[in-house]
Amino acid sequence: YIDSTGENGPKPPRYARVTLLRRKEGDIIEYKVGPIITGKYGRKSRIARNATIEPLIAAGAIPASKRPPDFSEDYRDLVASVITPIRNYFVQAFGPILIYEPTWEAKNGLLGWFARADITSTKEKRVGRIQFLWFHPDLDKLPKSWMHPVPFGFRVDFTRPDPQTWKPFDFLFCNQGPFHNMSGLQYALKTGQIKMCKLNFSENSSSDWDIPNPKHPHEKGPVTRQSYNPRYKIKNGNVEWMGWKFQVTNRPSKGPALYDVRIHGQRILYELSLQDAYAAYGGSYMEQFYYPDASFSLSQITSGNLLKGIDCPHGAHMIKSSKWMGTMMDKGRLKSVKDFKFIRDPLKPINYYPVCIFEEDRQTSLFRHTNTATGKVSAGRMTNLVVRAIGTVGNYDYITSFKFHLDGTIEVTSEYAGYCETRWINKDINPWEEPFGTTTHEGLSLPVHSHLVNVKADFDILGTRNSYVKTSVEIEDTPKETITSKQEKRIFSKSAPKTKVMKNTLVAFEGSGVSTAVVNVSKPTVWRIVNTEAIPAAGKGVSTEPRGYAIVPLKTNIQVLPNDHPFTIAASYTKYNLAVTKRKETEDRVSSVYDIYGPSNPVTSLDRFLEDEEKIIQEDLVAWITVGKEHIT
């Protein structure tokens, strides 16, 4: 469509993906529904008269136990049923923060909770861990909650969607246990087997240490502003700047994406998009957990508007998007747990501005050199166009930037902000927690964890017939025929010094360890996607190397857990900094929203993409690029 008809031609039909959780059948099924006829700006959309419904997933292929997080699930009755039998001990340890307690006062804040997937969750059994936090009474200070973990929790089997069937087990109290059933926990509390912790949360539990504040609020630093006459043009999501042209969008589940990326009229990428953001925490058997945050959505739940002057410079162009999930809360003191709730309505989109576009002065040179003879400096200032998107998922803020350079380079950066998820620690009660993190405040440990993000780059270098070439630096013997003089032969009579050479390898097939790569600082390698049929003719003063793009990870690490760990199996893309596969419509995403539960049985796996061992010489190729950091505090 984009090649043959342009923007004025007939558009391809649009379809909806409809996802159903079938309670009776105990599975999840997806349908393709359409065509959908959309009105101007998406208004008055309707289903075409000739619409069809086509299953995308076979019935029974995905069990209901692998359903993604559902914010309509209500855990209040479950939590109350667990705490009621141990109410007195709970208040003794943590203070009057139970909202249904007669001694509860709003100034004390209250007990908050959320469910996360447990490492023991399987394809057949959906096991979660209910995690507790103290909610500050002032909703504007609610983010402080991540700095105030409540050392109490339990596992729950909620394989079936009906809350009446949920079964709590493996209870922790003051981080001691687990006690498999409630009677075991009650007996341990009654007989003094549990060392009581004294946290006594209240409004005074918090001060300036647990929320960031400017150190010098009255000392203003330099401010960047955009030109009144920007060099970029934006219309209906189509962006043009200094020879670059592309379309930008923000998808509900995975966040920012760029399509039809061209330079000087030639497409180099069909798609460049964020795929997932992965975090895996170390800990004891009950405390190990991971978040594939696309399962929660990288742009829907708590994401908000970007801030001009901080996220983007003043004068930046803001891109509007829509979300259908969010939070609604009344400002002021907490009066009931209902003051904090999620809202969701597919018929009522919430407009917000999660993406901005601006020109950036890099404060350095694109090219620079001093003429030794004259002292004259030749230089050009480095500027680039930035497309920045920020998605907030719980305590994390993911800052993704796509930067377009004047020399044809595209730079993709991923930064992290927000709050760490923390654990309570006490050397007399749970000293085993110490190796898993750093104690940064009294009673507060920040556990070690990985952050890894994946970006999809669907290359179209002068067409869809592309190849993957690895150029590595190898060490070899100096060729003997290059040692010619008598003196050299005398010096190197026994052995010549080794030398560095470059070796090009054309990768022929998909495969783990074949079309994948991991950064190795002791063996520098450049990974390139090229079109071997696009070689300039010799004799014109240009390179005769095939046209293409190099993929160059900067500071990064990769998965540190072993290959057989559930969190690695669930996100096999985290094993590679690069994996190249043949493009398929059935392999359009590197991860699935269904893989937060039952991590050892993933629905989507990059390793399965690679198992095909398909030919990748002059084929339509996708590069799955993963970068990240090990968050050591």
Task: Spell out the SS3 assignment of 331-357.
Answer: CCECCCHHHEEEEECCCCCEEEEEEEE
3 state DSSP class of 52: strand
Section 485-511 average pLDDT: 82
pLDDT digits (tens, 9 = 90+) for 440-482: 999 999 999 999 999 999 999 999 999 999 999 999 988 877 7
Q: Where are the alpha helices (DSSP H) in 105-238?
A: 182-190
For the question of residue 595 being annotated catalytic, the response is no
Can you tell me the distance from the alpha carbon of 299 to that of 251, in angstroms, rounded to the nearest whole number? 7
Q: How confident is the model at residue 340 (pLDDT cuts 50, 70, 90)?
A: low
Section 312-316 average pLDDT: 93
Section 180-187 average pLDDT: 97
Here the tokens at position 299 are: 């742009």
Terminal C-alpha separation, the chain: 49
Average pLDDT for the chain? 89
Whether 274 shows a pLDDT value over 60: the answer reads yes
Count the alpha carbons within 13 Å of 621 in the hemisphere toward its beta carbon. Answer: 32
For domain 66-209, give its CATH number from 3.40.50.1110, 3.20.20.70, 3.10.450.40, 3.20.20.210: 3.10.450.40
Can you tell me the distance from the alpha carbon of 384 to that of 387, in angstroms, rounded to the nearest whole number? 10
In the chain, which segments carry CATH 3.10.450.40?
66-209
Whether 410 shows a pLDDT value over 80: the answer reads yes
Whether 388 shows a pLDDT value over 70: the answer reads yes
> Which residue's structure tokens are 């407009």?
351
**Choice between 337 and 564, residue whose per-residue pLDDT is larger:** 564
Whether 627 shows a pLDDT value over 70: the answer reads yes
| pLDDT for position 613 | 94
Whether 337 shows a pLDDT value over 50: the answer reads no
Q: How confident is the model at residue 331 (pLDDT cuts 50, 70, 90)?
A: very low
Considering the segment(s) 467-618 as one domain, its CATH architecture is Distorted Sandwich (2.70)
For the question of residue 278 being annotated catalytic, the response is no
State how beta strands 14-22 and 46-55 pair. Answer: unpaired
User: Of 293, 311, 458, 607, which is the active-site residue?
Assistant: 293
Q: Are the C-beta atoms of 290 and 599 separated by less than 8 Å? A: yes
| pLDDT for position 298 | 87
Section 395-412 average pLDDT: 95
Q: How confident is the model at residue 313 (pLDDT cuts 50, 70, 90)?
A: very high
Section 268-283 average pLDDT: 96
| pLDDT for position 319 | 93
Q: How confident is the model at residue 71 (pLDDT cuts 50, 70, 90)?
A: confident
Can you tell me the distance from the alpha carbon of 257 to that of 353, in angstroms, rounded to the nearest whole number? 15
User: Of 290, 291, 396, 549, which is the active-site residue?
Assistant: 396
| pLDDT for position 334 | 47
For the whole model, what pTM was predicted?
Answer: 0.93
Indicate the helix (H) or strand (E) that contains 424: strand 423-424
Checking 230-239 for CB contacts under 8 A at 24+ apart, the result is: 230/315, 230/317, 230/358, 230/359, 231/359, 232/317, 232/357, 232/359, 232/385, 234/317, 234/357, 237/319, 239/357, 239/385, 239/387
The alpha carbon of 6 is separated from its chain's Cα centroid by a whole number of angstroms, namely 33
In the chain, which segments carry CATH 2.70.98.20?
467-618
| pLDDT for position 354 | 93
DSSP state of 486: H
Q: Are the C-beta atoms of 618 and 467 separated by less than 8 Å? A: yes
The alpha carbon of 359 is separated from its chain's Cα centroid by a whole number of angstroms, namely 25
Section 608-630 average pLDDT: 97
Please state the length of the chain. 633
Count the alpha carbons within 13 Å of 193 in the hemisphere toward its beta carbon. Answer: 14
Here the tokens at position 387 are: 């497309």
Q: How confident is the model at residue 492 (pLDDT cuts 50, 70, 90)?
A: low
Whether 344 shows a pLDDT value over 60: the answer reads yes
Section 149-155 average pLDDT: 96
Can you tell me the distance from the alpha carbon of 492 to that of 495, in angstroms, rounded to the nearest whole number? 5
CA distances from 363 to 359, 380, 411 (A): 12, 11, 16
Least confident of 184-188, 218-222, 330-334, 501-505: 330-334
